[in-house]
Structures are given as C-alpha cells and as structure tokens.
C-alpha cells in the first residue's frame, strides 16, 4: 500500500468508459482537495467525456487537466493499451472517425459475447447487457455508445447468478470457447493520433514487456513508436518502476504515473475496480515537468 498520494494522476476513467462509474466531477473535486498538479481523464476509446470535462473545469479552475484518451490496439503480440496525452480540444474529423469506429467496435464486441454465450447454450441477450450497463452507467452514456460490452466483474457476477458458471475461475475459460472481436490495428490508429499532436505512451506495461525483457521492450518500441512509458501503476511491481524509468531516460522517453481509477469508492455499489485508488502511484513529480515540456512543443 502506498502511503502518500502522488502529485498528479494521468490515468483515469469516468462513466464515459464502458467499464467505469465515476462522474467526471469526482476527479476534479479530489484533485482540488489533494492539490494535485494535473489530472488526465483517459477514457477507453473515445473522448466523449470532453464536454463534461470542459464544463467541470470551469468550476475547478485550480485543477489543470491534460486532454487524453486510452486506445486499445492490435499489434504483433496481441492487443495492448496505449495512453495518449495532449489530445486536441477540437477533435479533428479524422480522429472522430476513429472514435466512431471504436463505438461500433464496443457494440460489436458486446454482441459477439452474447452470440458466443448463446452458442454455448446460455440465453445471454442484448437486453441482459443493457440491464447490466444501466446498473452503473447513466442513460446519456448508453445513448451515446449503445449496448456495448459490460464491465468484467459485473458480467462475471451475472454469469454466476444466472448459473452459466459456478465459480469466478470458470469465467476466463468461457471466453476461449468463442471468437473475440479484434481491436483496430496499432499501425493504422497510432500515427493519426500522433499526427494531431498526441504524446503516445504504453500503459501498465509489465505483461507487454514480460516484466523486464529488454529485447521485447526494444521490439515494441520499434513497432509502436511510443514516446513514453507508464512507469508507475498498481499493476507494476514497485521494483520495476525504477527499471522502466531508467529505460525511459536511456531512450529519451517520458515517464508517467496513474491510478487507473474507475470509481468513486464512497459511491460504488457495484464494487467496480476497487483495487485502484485515485492518485495512488509512485510516479515522481519531476516526470510531470518533463511531460509539460513536451506538451509545449
Ligand atoms: Zn485505463
């Protein structure tokens, strides 16, 4: 457990992400209370929280926010999460088209899970997914995204309660039994975001990097062209944070830290992502100065 909170939190999800339930304002309020230097609300796949972020930031002028998004993309090792900082506030058509592609991807992914479950003899319908989504996401987000896939923990509980599986352990194995919806390709998506000024980093990279496999780190850096690494995150064993930081320094990459919060734990009846706590990570303050320097360019 980390004792003190960090000076910033550059990895956050509001209920505009399919698997999160925190209101945007929660992050601004907490950031203001804790006097954080900056936050980045990095939804999955779109910047649909941006109007909320801009409106809320007027109420909290002391909180600096960095426009951001988290994109999951397909590459040679499978799919991985890339955090993009310094996104444009006016979303260019080219990027809006990508976001729309991902909104469709989320509906397709949800539908494929229902079809897959039905092929195994379980009556998991579109309507069931909608009921589950309504448990933790406000209507305006469902209106915008449609009936997407569902947060894993909530879906798992539903599968157990419906008798589709007997234990949480069986949940992962279910998904090996039917085809998954492939994510869009990194080589097509990332250059567009970069072209419009985004600083792209690889998120919580411990599994992607096989912990500390430098050959693999070099190969992924070459393939994906990321400019930074999320070196501090609760999925990263604390002894690896300095290792990733050293790698960043050696290769002139920036370093970042984030909590990956998905919920306000004082108002989280569905118990979503309880392992993450706002502003809890061991990233250093000077990393943020380096990010600000790059964002100026
Ligand atoms: Zn995330």
Question: pLDDT tens digits for the chain (297 residues)?
Answer: 456 899 999 999 999 999 999 999 999 999 999 999 999 999 999 999 999 999 999 999 999 999 999 999 999 999 999 999 999 999 999 999 999 999 999 999 999 999 999 999 999 999 999 999 999 999 999 999 999 999 999 999 999 999 999 999 999 999 999 998 999 999 999 999 999 999 999 999 999 999 999 999 999 999 999 999 999 999 999 999 999 999 999 999 999 999 999 999 999 888 999 889 999 999 999 999 999 999 998
Span from the CA of 119 to the centroid of ligand 1 (angstroms): 31
Distances, alpha carbon 55 to alpha carbons 28, 33, 89, in Å: 11, 18, 13
DSSP state of 72: E
pLDDT at residue 38, as a whole number: 98
Cα torsion angle, 217, 293, 79, 237, sign:
positive
DSSP state of 85: E
Rounded-to-integer distance, Cα 232 and Cα 118, Å: 40
Span from the CA of 11 to the centroid of ligand 1 (angstroms): 6
Span from the CA of 163 to the centroid of ligand 1 (angstroms): 30
pLDDT at residue 4, as a whole number: 83
pLDDT at residue 270, as a whole number: 85
Beta strand 8-12 with 38-41: parallel, antiparallel or unpaired?
parallel
Whether the pTM exceeds 0.85: the reply is yes
Strand order in the sheet with 228-232: 68-75, 78-85, 199-202, 228-232, 254-257
Neighbours of 249 (CB within 10 A): 11
Beta strands in the chain (DSSP E): 8-12, 38-41, 68-75, 78-85, 199-202, 228-232, 254-257
pLDDT at residue 236, as a whole number: 97
> Which residues make up the environment of ion ligand 1, defined by Cβ < 5 Å?
70, 260
Span from the CA of 211 to the centroid of ligand 1 (angstroms): 19
Span from the CA of 81 to the centroid of ligand 1 (angstroms): 8
pLDDT at residue 2, as a whole number: 53
pLDDT at residue 203, as a whole number: 98
Rounded-to-integer distance, Cα 13 and Cα 43, Å: 5
Span from the CA of 19 to the centroid of ligand 1 (angstroms): 10
Span from the CA of 282 to the centroid of ligand 1 (angstroms): 17
Catalogue all structural domains in the chain, each as residue range(s) with its CATH number. Answer: 8-89+198-296 (3.20.20.140), 98-174 (no CATH)
Span from the CA of 70 to the centroid of ligand 1 (angstroms): 6
Span from the CA of 21 to the centroid of ligand 1 (angstroms): 13
Span from the CA of 41 to the centroid of ligand 1 (angstroms): 9
């Amino acid at each position: 457990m980390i004792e003190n909170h960090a000076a910033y939190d550059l990895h956050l999800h509001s209920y505009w992400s399919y698997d999160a339930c925190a209101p945007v304002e929660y992050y601004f309020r907490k950031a203001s209370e804790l006097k954080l230097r900056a936050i980045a609300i990095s939804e999955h796949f779109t910047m649909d929280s941006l109007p909320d972020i801009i409106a809320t930031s007027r109420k909290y002028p002391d909180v600096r926010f960095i426009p951001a998004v988290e994109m999951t993309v397909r590459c040679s090792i499978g799919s991985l999460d890339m955090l993009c900082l310094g996104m444009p506030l006016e979303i260019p058509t080219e990027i809006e088209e990508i976001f729309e592609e991902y909104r469709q991807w989320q509906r397709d992914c949800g539908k494929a899970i229902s079809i897959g479950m039905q092929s195994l003899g379980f009556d998991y319908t579109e309507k069931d997914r909608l009921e589950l989504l309504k448990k933790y996401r406000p209507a305006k987000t469902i209106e915008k995204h449609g009936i997407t896939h569902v947060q894993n923990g909530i879906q798992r509980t539903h599968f157990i309660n419906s008798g589709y599986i007997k234990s949480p352990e069986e949940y992962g194995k279910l998904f090996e039994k039917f085809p998954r919806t492939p994510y869009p390709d990194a080589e097509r998506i990332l250059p567009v975001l970069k072209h419009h000024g985004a600083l792209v980093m690889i998120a919580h990279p411990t599994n992607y990097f096989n912990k500390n496999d430098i050959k693999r780190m070099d190969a992924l850096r070459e393939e994906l062209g990321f400019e930074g690494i999320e070196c501090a995150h609760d999925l990263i064993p604390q002894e690896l944070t300095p290792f990733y930081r050293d790698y960043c320094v050696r290769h002139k990459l920036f370093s970042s830290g984030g909590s990956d919060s998905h919920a306000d734990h004082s108002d989280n009846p569905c118990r979503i992502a309880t392992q993450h706590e706002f502003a809890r990570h061991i990233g250093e303050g000077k990393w943020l100065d380096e990010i600000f320097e790059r964002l100026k360019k």
